[in-house]
């Protein structure tokens, strides 16, 4: 059962709405009664797909534009009640190869959205999707929203910077803006065909093909994995809560699993492949953060959101989604 409030009559803009989290958020917002506009440039490096909204394409307005274009952003942010910024270049390895491109999307693009809102729609609710990886190696566990940030790759650094932009605009211009940091979100509509995106979604793609999942080292490092429906419920619940002028929340699961356990559970619930342990590639070892044990106490206390889907149940639901649609997600 959904825990998110109704959004009846709300005009919602979802940037990156053809991507993984964005398209699932589109579905939930429609269920909750919102009028939804999807703003997405379909950058092939970001995992968006028109098929992600195939089931509800007639119920949304589609705008094939780019958050790097200020005029386009301004046109569509005007008159909206809520904007969910899910647009991002999301690959950690790509950000190390092409730091300028990552910065253009994850930093400058966010400035465009914030400045457009400040100038032309200052009363809009602005919900920005952040990431747990901006913390880098943890100094204490479980990490909370006050943990210092020492990101290990360009993507995580730019997400950290863009979060600070959101908080600056909230406090300086009285904007109702909030950051929701997510961690290893998985489930339907993800890019499961490439290791460039979230590791656990790539594991799903391998398992669906009955291929071997390779885990670096012994896979003992802990991760927080969150089913995408729970992530979207957190975003909608935050938008419906009392106005937040510059707060940050971790929307993460109660449970933490080793990477090895995530791989094993994926094979058990989704396919008949296997798990293989291989040495760390030097390029990945340099950006590895170790255990990532995170706290969701703040969002539970202040927003009233809690995750509802276990790893195993989430994998079962993920398998049900992909099996009849696999040809659309493995190319």
- pTM of the predicted model, to two decimals? 0.95
Provide φ and ψ at 320, rounded to 5°: -60, -35
Residue 263 included in any domain: no
Residue with tokens 């394409």: 57
CATH number at residue 164: 3.40.50.720
Rounded-to-5 percentages of helix, strand, coil across the chain: 45, 20, 40
Q: What's the pLDDT tens digit per position in 56-67?
A: 999 999 999 999
pLDDT of residue 46: 80
Residue 137 included in any domain: yes
Handedness of CA 290, 155, 245, 66 (dihedral sign): negative
At residue 3 the predicted structure's pLDDT band, cuts being 50, 70 and 90, is low
Q: How many domains does the chain have?
A: 1
Short-list 132, 139, 28, 24, CA closest to 86: 24
Q: Which range of residues forms the domain containing residue 93?
A: 11-186+225-254+293-309
Q: Is the pLDDT of residue 1 over 50?
A: no
Residue 175 included in any domain: yes
Residue 282 included in any domain: no
Residue 325 included in any domain: no
* Separation between Cα atoms, residue 28 and residue 130, nearest integer Å: 19
In the numeric block, which tokens belong to residue 90?
A: 């999301």
Q: What's the pLDDT tens digit per position in 97-155?
A: 999 999 999 999 999 999 999 999 999 999 999 999 999 999 999 999 999 999 999 99
Query: What mean pLDDT is predicted for residues 165-178?
Result: 96
pLDDT of residue 288: 83
The four Cα atoms 156, 228, 48, 223 give a dihedral, to 10 degrees, of: 30
Residue 261 included in any domain: no
In the numeric block, which tokens belong to residue 220?
A: 């003992």
Q: Is the pLDDT of residue 2 over 50?
A: no
Percent of the chain with pLDDT over 90: 87
* Separation between Cα atoms, residue 91 and residue 218, nearest integer Å: 23
pLDDT of residue 43: 86
In sequence order, what are the residues at sequence separation of 6 or more whose Cβ sits closer than 8 angstroms to the Cβ of residue 168?
A: none
- Pick the range with the lowest mean pLDDT from 2-6, 100-104, 133-137, 252-256: 2-6
């Amino acid at each position: 059962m959904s825990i998110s409030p109704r959004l009846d009559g709300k005009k919602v803009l979802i940037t990156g709405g053809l991507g993984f989290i964005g398209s699932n958020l589109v579905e939930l917002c429609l269920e909750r009664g919102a009028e939804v506009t999807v703003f997405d440039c379909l950058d092939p490096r970001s995992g968006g797909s028109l098929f992600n909204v195939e089931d509800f394409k007639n119920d949304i307005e589609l705008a094939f534009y780019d958050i790097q274009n200020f005029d386009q952003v301004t046109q569509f942010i005007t008159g909206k009640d809520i904007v969910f910024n899910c647009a991002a270049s999301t690959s950690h390895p790509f950000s190390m190869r092409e730091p300028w491109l990552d910065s253009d999307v994850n930093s400058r693009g966010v400035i465009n959205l914030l400045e457009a809102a400040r100038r032309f729609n200052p009363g809009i609710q602005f919900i920005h999707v952040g990431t747990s990886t901006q913390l880098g190696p943890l100094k204490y566990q479980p990490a909370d929203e006050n943990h210092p940030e020492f990101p290990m790759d360009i993507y995580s650094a730019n997400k950290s910077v863009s979060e600070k932009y959101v908080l600056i605009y909230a406090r300086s211009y009285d904007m109702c803006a909030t950051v929701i940091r997510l961690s290893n979100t998985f489930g339907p509509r993800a890019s499961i065909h490439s290791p460039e995106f979230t590791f656990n979604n790539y594991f799903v793609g391998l398992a669906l093909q009955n291929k071997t999942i390779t885990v670096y080292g012994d896979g003992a490092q802990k991760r927080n994995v969150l089913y995408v429906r729970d992530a979207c419920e957190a975003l909608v619940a935050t938008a419906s809560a009392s106005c937040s002028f510059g707060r940050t929340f971790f929307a993460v699961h109660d449970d933490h699993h080793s990477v090895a356990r995530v791989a094993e559970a994926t094979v058990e619930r989704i396919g008949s492949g296997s798990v293989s342990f291989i040495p760390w590639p030097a390029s990945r070892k340099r950006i590895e953060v170790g255990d990532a044990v995170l706290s969701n106490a703040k969002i539970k206390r202040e927003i009233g959101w809690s995750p509802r889907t276990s790893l195993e149940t989430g994998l079962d639901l993920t398998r049900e989604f992909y099996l009849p649609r696999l040809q659309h997600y493995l190319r």
